[in-house]
Amino acid sequence: MSIISLLSDFGHKDPYVAEMKAVILSVNPQVRFVDITHEITKFCIPMGAYTLASAAPFFPLNTVHVAVVDPGVGTNRRPIIVHTQRNLYVGPDNGLLILAANKEKITKVYVIDNPKYMLATVSNTFHGRDIFAPVAAHLSKGVKPCEFGSEINDYVCPKFTTAHFKDAELVGEVLHVDDFGNVISNISVHDLEKLGLQLGCSVRVELGDNGFNVPFGSAYGEVACGDAVLLVGGGDFVEVSVNQGNASKLFNENVGDTFCLSLVKC
Amino acid sequence: MSIISLLSDFGHKDPYVAEMKAVILSVNPQVRFVDITHEITKFCIPMGAYTLASAAPFFPLNTVHVAVVDPGVGTNRRPIIVHTQRNLYVGPDNGLLILAANKEKITKVYVIDNPKYMLATVSNTFHGRDIFAPVAAHLSKGVKPCEFGSEINDYVCPKFTTAHFKDAELVGEVLHVDDFGNVISNISVHDLEKLGLQLGCSVRVELGDNGFNVPFGSAYGEVACGDAVLLVGGGDFVEVSVNQGNASKLFNENVGDTFCLSLVKC
Amino acid sequence: MSIISLLSDFGHKDPYVAEMKAVILSVNPQVRFVDITHEITKFCIPMGAYTLASAAPFFPLNTVHVAVVDPGVGTNRRPIIVHTQRNLYVGPDNGLLILAANKEKITKVYVIDNPKYMLATVSNTFHGRDIFAPVAAHLSKGVKPCEFGSEINDYVCPKFTTAHFKDAELVGEVLHVDDFGNVISNISVHDLEKLGLQLGCSVRVELGDNGFNVPFGSAYGEVACGDAVLLVGGGDFVEVSVNQGNASKLFNENVGDTFCLSLVKC
């Protein structure tokens, strides 16, 4: 029994995800699927990378993760396999896989060029179905990564910003806005400790042009309905949330906007 | 082989559902998943309760249903297991599980407080992943419900309105508007019999400020395209529908609005 | 181990798909599900037929495909099983199944009228759950198609338009607009060859009232971001796409609009 996870920007309207699963089941009927999401913003590699890196740590060892956010499909961007100490990743060489893979320590990266493990006809528009799906299926059956092509070292490494201090202010940016409207920053729980923030303190949050003071809490329901709270979310990043509301709409915040914190009073 | 169903208000954009499934598969790789829905209106416990109660009767015996519509996560609301004569339910103690469970006769309810069956680190923002998922996985492997915590009797019982007669008028309310725009009431087929309504009769429907006469039929396609019909839907509740149209938009109806019926002529 | 695919216009908000799966698992707990899509435009049989026909060829032999786009549910439209040389199809007799089935050569078609294989109570509003789901489950367990009812020959055959030449112009129509905004025509790769079009040629595309010249390429990323390209998509149909953009919005094109091609220069 092996597990294949799938992540893409395909949406749910078209048969594209099903075609990938059908190809995989044709090779390995025993595989189990888990859809991470297919609603990555179209062509948005950073959002795909963030989402994959959030989910991957919860999967069992030896999961094969297939991720397809692939604006360069059919051009000279390479299809790759990333082998880490925990898992295998299959997808385009555009940085999508590397944030997640780096957390698990990359052992080797291979370009996929052995046609034996691709569909007989490979389109230039849908490598998810024609290359990544059958490769993932064969990996899930135990074919060794080195069978698919040669090792490479020059794979694309995305740059992800990290938070830093500017005087007493902790300067980060918005990493993700989730479906609840929680505004998730790239500020980690370790960064917070350096700020000296403790539960119950009041903290100033500057989001783009908006500034406001909120309590630092530990649960959404600790503040009144409609009130904002700063807390550490399920992915260990600092987020601003509104209890039973939508912080993203309230503060008009989007991915990439600045997200700065400073201590008001404890 | 055991089945775990999942219901939530998480949407499909984020990796939250996948994280729950990954945690479950780490404990029980043999489990089968059925997603009931993840598009419950955010924080809307009554809609979650209605949807869970609609689907649950069709599942095999001994299904473990995990439901997470949980605005109180991380506060003093308790995580619970509800054991019925057919199935097991896992989720927050906010009424979400009880409408479905009552239909199957509740045998016992347990608070979950044994950390042995939770993730090593439990966040205050995502008990779906950190508590409910691993608990469901262990239940699906045969761990007895009493192993997870003590029995309780003071669990939250939601109040659901039932239809009643006011003179010759049957007075109910809108329970759900489905994705087709069907306006589903809390009026049951048994209530209808008391009204003396038979197939082919004309019936007056008062929805909020709108009143109109429609035929009482048995299938959407019995009336012309764009025409309204009153019928008993797949969940045994009375609904107003528009053949190949959207009754909710036509009549501007929402959940909680009044839904009254009176006989016009047979 | 057998596979059941599901396609419908049910959306993801309601428990309808889950009720079908729960019914199927009650009959055959070993079955594997693949959701093709549940976001077919409501009541749109041609879109359902196109989508099913796109995905079906990628599935293993002996898959049972259940498809429900069924505005005539509960009327005199018949429930049917279509047996092809590769697979089995279950759904309403309204043309939905036939485009896919014809590609695999239909061997026999049966009306479903044996109540032994339906739910004990059959509603007039949800045959997906009450008839198609249990029938598919029994088929997946090896019950012969002829056990479900009598053979018929007068099943509904939908008319699908094909492209044709008008002087030097290849005249087709828009078959589908996918979630990326790719405008997919009913013009096949074989039609293109007759036009004498080769990679790198410039081609005039007339979409409804819009006309414009684009290159004929082989991958989205061959043109600059925001530029249009004509290419053969993953389903072997000709499509107009915008690199990292949305062709459907740019050209304001919808399903059924004309899609004409003529050679400009090679």
Residues of B within 8 A of A219 (CB-CB) are 73-75, 124-125
Mean pLDDT of C130-159: 96
Asked if C141 and C90 touch (Cβ cutoff 8 Å), the reply is no
Mean pLDDT of A182-189: 92
- Determine contact: C53 vs chain A, CB below 8 A: no
Mean pLDDT, residues A178-194:
92
Q: Mean of the pLDDT values across residues C142-171?
A: 93
Q: Is the dihedral of CA A138, A140, A146, A149 positive or negative?
A: positive
Q: Is the distance from CB of C185 to CB of C259 less than 8 angstroms?
A: yes
Cα-based distances in Å from A122 to B139, C189, C235, C243: 45, 15, 12, 20
Measured between alpha carbons, how far is B59 from B49 in angstroms, rounded to an integer? 16
pLDDT bucket at A253, cuts 50 / 70 / 90: confident
Task: Specify the pLDDT at position C143.
Answer: 98
pLDDT digits (tens, 9 = 90+) for C218-247: 999 999 999 999 999 888 899 999 999 999
pLDDT > 90? residue C69: yes
| Parallel, antiparallel or unpaired: strands A228-232 and A210-215 | unpaired
Task: State the smallest CA–CA distance between residue A13 and chain C in angstroms.
Answer: 5
One-letter amino acid of C217: G
Tell whether the model's pLDDT for residue A16 goes beyond 70: yes
Contact A150, A241 (CB under 8 A): no
Cβ–Cβ < 8 Å for B24, B134: yes
- The answer on pLDDT for A265 being more than 80 is yes
Contact between A59 and A4 (Cβ < 8 Å): no
pLDDT tens digits for range A17-63: 999 999 999 999 999 999 999 999 999 999 999 999 999 999 999 99
What is the DSSP secondary-structure string of B11-35?
-SSSSHHHHHHHHHHHH-TT-EEEE
B/e letters for C12-43, b = 16+ CB within 10 Å, e = fewer, are bbbbbbbbbbbbbbbbbeebbbbbbbbbbebb
Distance from CA of A9 to the nearest CA of C (A): 9
Separation between Cα atoms, residue A2 and residue B66, nearest integer Å: 23
Q: Which residues 109-168 on chain C approach chain A with CB closer than 8 angstroms?
A: none
Specify the pLDDT at position B261: 95
Among A245-249, C66-70, C192-196, the least confident range:
C192-196
The partner residue sitting opposite B72, judged by closest CB among A55, A180, A221, is A221
Residue range A204-233: average pLDDT? 92
For B230-247, the pLDDT digits (tens) are 999 888 899 999 999 999
- Angle at C121 (CA atoms; ends C120, C124), nearest 5 degrees: 140
ipTM of this complex: 0.94
CA distance A151 to chain B (A): 29
Residue whose pair of structure tokens reads 């249903």 in the numeric block: B65
What is the token pair recorded at C104? 């695999």
Per-residue pLDDT reduced to its tens digit, B145-158: 999 999 999 999 98
Question: Is the pLDDT confidence value at A7 over 70?
Answer: yes
pLDDT of amino acid B266: 83
Residue for token pair 């403790």: A198
Q: Give the model's confidence band at B1: pLDDT under 50 very low, under 70 low, under 90 confident, else very high.
A: low
Say if residues B81 and B145 touch (Cβ distance below 8 Å).
yes
Contacts of C3 in chain A (CB under 8 A): 25, 29
Mutate to test the interface with C, among A3, A12, A13 (most CBs of C within 10 A): A13
Q: What is the pLDDT of residue A254?
A: 85
CA-to-CA distance for C77 and C59, rounded, in angstroms?
28
CB atoms within 10 A of CB B266: 12
Residue B86's pLDDT band, with cuts at 50, 70 and 90, is very high
Q: Are B24 and B4 in contact (CB under 8 A)?
A: yes
pLDDT value of residue C236: 84
Q: Does the pLDDT value for residue C1 go beyond 80?
A: no
Selected for mutation to probe chain A from B2, B9, B16, B126 (highest A CB count within 10 Å) is: B16
- Torsion over CA: B70, B71, B74, B77 (sign): negative
